[in-house]
Each structure stands twice: as C-alpha cells, then as structure tokens.
Amino acid sequence: MLYVIGLGLSDEKDITVKGLEAVKASERIYLEAYTSILMVNKEKLEEFYEKPVVVADREMVESESDVILANAQNVNVSFLVVGDPFGATTHTDLVLRAKELGIEVKIIHNASIMNAIGACGLSLYNFGQTISMVWFLDNWRPDSWYPRVKENRDIGLHTLVLLDIKVKEQSLENMARGRKIYEPPRYMTVNTCLEQMLEIEEKRGENAYGPETLAIGCVRLGTATQQFVAGTMQQLLDCDFGEPLHSLVIIGRRMHLMEYDMVREWVPQENRGTFEEIYKRDYET
C-alpha cells in the first residue's frame, strides 16, 4: 500500500488519527519537502512517529519516484505532504505511477491553505481561481496569472495568492555546470508579492486591481502565531508580517456585510477610516 497522507499546516500533532495509524504501520516514510513546510523539522516528526523519516526533495519525487515506490506492492509506504495531498499542489503523477505498478493507493486528507484560508473571515464560497506568485528575475517577470485575477475581480470573487518558496534550489550557473550546490531556503513575503502585483498592474493597465484595492496578508496559517492584517494593497506594502509562511488574499468587489465585519477586525486602527471609506465606495454588500 502507498499511503499519501496530509499533515495539516502546523506541527507534528496536526496529523489525523487515521494518518498516524498508517505511518505507524509503514515500513518506509517519506516527507515531501519542496512545495511547503511545517513549522517543525523532520526530527520532531521522527520523535513523534517513533520512526525514521526520509526527506524527499523535488528531484526524488519527480525523477526518482521508483525509490519511493520500491516494493510497495508488498510493504506499506507513507508519503507525507504538508497540508492536504491534493490541496495547494497535486501529487497525481506519483499516484498514477503507483497504480501503473499495481500498487494500491490510499489518500488520507487533512487541512490545507485552500480551506483554512476561511479563517481570514471571507467565505470559501466567494473565492475564485487561486494563483501562485513566483519571484521575478531581471529578465523574467511572468504575468500569466494576471488574467485569472482580473476574471475573479470582474465577477466580484476573492483571489487567494500562494507565495513562492525556494527549498534546495540550484543557481542557474550551478545547474548549468552540473554542480550539486544548493541555495539557502527562501520564502516570499506578502510585501514582495504586492510589489510584483502592483508592477504588473502598472504595466498592463487593465484595472484588475490597484493600490487602493483591499487585501489581507495571511501569515503562518494554522499555527499558534497565525496572523491576519487587512488594508489596501498600498498600506500592506509597509507591514512587517514576520516569519514565513505568507499568503495573500485580494478581496473581491462582492464582499458580503458579514465578511466585511470579520475582515474589519484585522485592519490596524489607524487605517480603519480608509478601509471603511473604500468599502462603501467600491464594494458591493
């Protein structure tokens, strides 16, 4: 059996009872460690599970899946994913490869950013397409996500923006030279995401959003230090959101009054007047 197990968003205790039972029954345990991170290291997981855990980087999952699936027709193997197995990212390829080899697969779900984002006060029913934001480079400033945001905004829906993380990444030079030298981990901040989004709006000028568009910075969701800060995109540019992981919500124009009452609680006192004024002017209840 191949178990694909969601770990939730915070620490070793977020795993479900069903997931923990599967881990305990597995001969090998792999932790997917490139699409997101837990707030604890693998040693903490090993202590809790009382079993060794192998960190599976992008290269192993995408190019060496045979190592993960080896002999899984005869023994139990657990593949651990932060959040939900099919939440912010999908591991469909691994599941398909397992089935091609005649390996039974069982998915064990958990909380992910895709449902936990409701804690910001906005209804999950009112979210549109989710987008991912990657770091811009000097010669690469992708904006393929921009039409998705505009489509959401045109029909009044909220947009969840997932922010880039770089774990065990190689520089272009080291990659070209075949050197297994990896860059230090990096995690995009809400501030960087906003800078990039406003740059693209200025460039394209299609009025998908702007400096006065209301948004929510959502950080360390599901942890003891979870935090939300709401305001205009311009106001959030200057906020210190602290440690990772960060995500962002661009609020849709059809914000229900109950959503407004919830989100207003995340607005710093000095910005509430501006928030209320923009809501009354630009947003439908």
State the binding site for S-adenosyl-L-methionine: 9, 84, 87, 112-113, 163, 221, 246
For residue 102, the number of C-alpha atoms closer than 13 Å in the C-beta half-sphere is 3
H or E stretch at 233:
helix 233-236
Report d(CA 101, CA 68) in Å as an integer: 12
Question: Which 8-state DSSP code applies to residue 226?
Answer: -
Report d(CA 11, CA 156) in Å as an integer: 35
The residue behind tokens 């070793």 is 12
Annotated binding site: 9, 84, 87, 112-113, 163, 221, 246
Report d(CA 124, CA 116) in Å as an integer: 9
Return all residues near 236 (Cβ < 8 A) that are at least 6 apart.
190, 191, 194, 215, 217, 229
